[in-house]
Amino acid sequence: MSETRAGRSRTGSRRHLGPRLIVALALAGSLAAALAGASADVTADVTADVTADVTADVTAGLAAGVAGPGFDPFDVPAVTAVATSAPVLVGAGDIATCRGSGDGATAALLASIPGTVFTAGDNAYDSGRAAEYARCYGPTWGVFRPRTRPAPGNHDYATAGAAGYFGYFGARAGDPRRGYYAYNLGSWRIYVLNSNCWAVGGCAAGSPQERWLRANLAASPHRCVLAYWHHPLFSSGLHGNQSAVRAFWNDLQAAGAEIVINGHDHDYERFAPQTPGGVASATGIREFVVGTGGRSHYGFGVVRRNSQVRNARAFGVLKLTLRAGSYDWRFVPAAGTKFSDAGHGTCR
């Protein structure tokens, strides 16, 4: 099994350079690039879609992160402004701190990638307080709140009931009593789960969340299924395997899901498709650990079976292009780092 390493990102401190202005300028640049690259027959549509998305993002960030229109917290078709018919899902976990600049570097990447933004938990350090969301997350990733579909992490629950998290994201984060929900993105079904099991009645088979997941998978069958939450079942990082979420994997495997995305360990790791028992299988689930949103980095410990690519130095985001029947993945590193990882998969 190979290990790929890259140098740390060298970016200036956003605190001194005015993060809202930096991200707004990057958004304007992404708009120009999108329009320049669009073919003549789609320019009009791209102009309307991307302009609307960028305007909402900039307005939200510069006006103290005011949320966009409300959404059904349980089943929301996301609208993505892209220059092709394939929607994009992009994001990471373990993101914002007021004591560093890594989250500013990854936010600059989001500014150049139209699509639906995911978070894989631990969004605002250290405790997910309302003030930390406003002061630390808001100026960087918060600019993209109108197109974000978040998941909570354990640091978010360091504030009672994850009140800062649910207060910041509102209906986009689902029912505050549960924190799990589903939505459609193109032809894909996306599940956002809450792996803070103690806070939501457990994650084991028969728990309210597991019963909801199993029932929803049966009621909304899709060829292509993706899920994300904070704690990974498999990880070679500092925290290692988190067996409490195995029941999620059992249900997703039975439904033919393709992808699981997690954070928690502050590194990037990609696994070969495998079963919930950790056996490599062409009909298994591919897991990505993407704790690279900007907080910090952890080293690796015991390298787990089926781990294919690992990096503990680069901040960055995972970009997934979700086509009908297939997907492309690419880890996009922050400026100043060279590590990347890319590939293609087919839905079962």
- List the pLDDT tens digit at each of the 348 positions of the chain: 333 333 333 333 333 344 445 455 554 444 343 333 333 333 333 333 333 343 344 334 333 333 333 333 344 434 334 345 799 999 999 999 998 889 999 999 999 999 999 999 999 999 999 999 999 999 999 999 999 999 999 889 999 999 999 999 999 999 999 999 999 999 999 999 999 999 999 999 999 999 999 999 999 999 999 999 999 999 897 776 777 999 999 999 999 999 999 998 889 999 999 999 999 999 999 999 999 998 867 887 889 999 999 988 899 999 999 999 999 999 999 999 989 999 999 998
pLDDT of residue 243: 78
Secondary structure, 3-state, 144-181: HHHHEECCCCCCHHHCHHHHHHHHHHHHHHCCCCCCCE
Rounded alpha-carbon distances, angstroms, from residue 287 to 35, 46, 83, 318: 34, 32, 27, 12
Backbone angles phi, psi at 118, to 5 degrees: -110, 150
Query: E strands within 221-325?
Result: 224-228, 259-262, 268-271, 286-290, 307-311, 316-323
The span from the CA of 48 to the CA of 7, in Å, is 39
Query: E strands within the chain?
Result: 88-92, 116-119, 148-149, 181-185, 188-192, 224-228, 259-262, 268-271, 286-290, 307-311, 316-323, 326-333, 341-346
User: CB of 6 within 8 A of CB of 314?
Assistant: yes
The span from the CA of 50 to the CA of 98, in Å, is 30
pLDDT of residue 85: 77
Rounded alpha-carbon distances, angstroms, from residue 215 to 106, 218, 280, 284: 36, 5, 27, 21
Strand 268-271 and strand 259-262: the pairing is unpaired
Rounded alpha-carbon distances, angstroms, from residue 237 to 108, 116, 191, 234, 318: 26, 27, 24, 9, 18
Q: Which of 28, 144, 161, 57 lies closest to 95, judged by CA?
A: 144
Q: Which of 54, 35, 57 lies closest to 45, judged by CA?
A: 35
pLDDT of residue 153: 94
pLDDT of residue 116: 98
Query: What is this structure's pTM?
Result: 0.78
CA pseudo-torsion sign 178, 184, 185, 187? positive
Domains of the chain: 14-346 (3.60.21.10)
pLDDT of residue 202: 95
In sequence order, what are the residues at sequence separation of 6 or more whose Cβ sits closer than 8 angstroms to the Cβ of residue 44?
none
User: CB of 92 within 8 A of CB of 316?
Assistant: yes
pLDDT of residue 206: 97
pLDDT of residue 290: 96
The span from the CA of 177 to the CA of 39, in Å, is 46
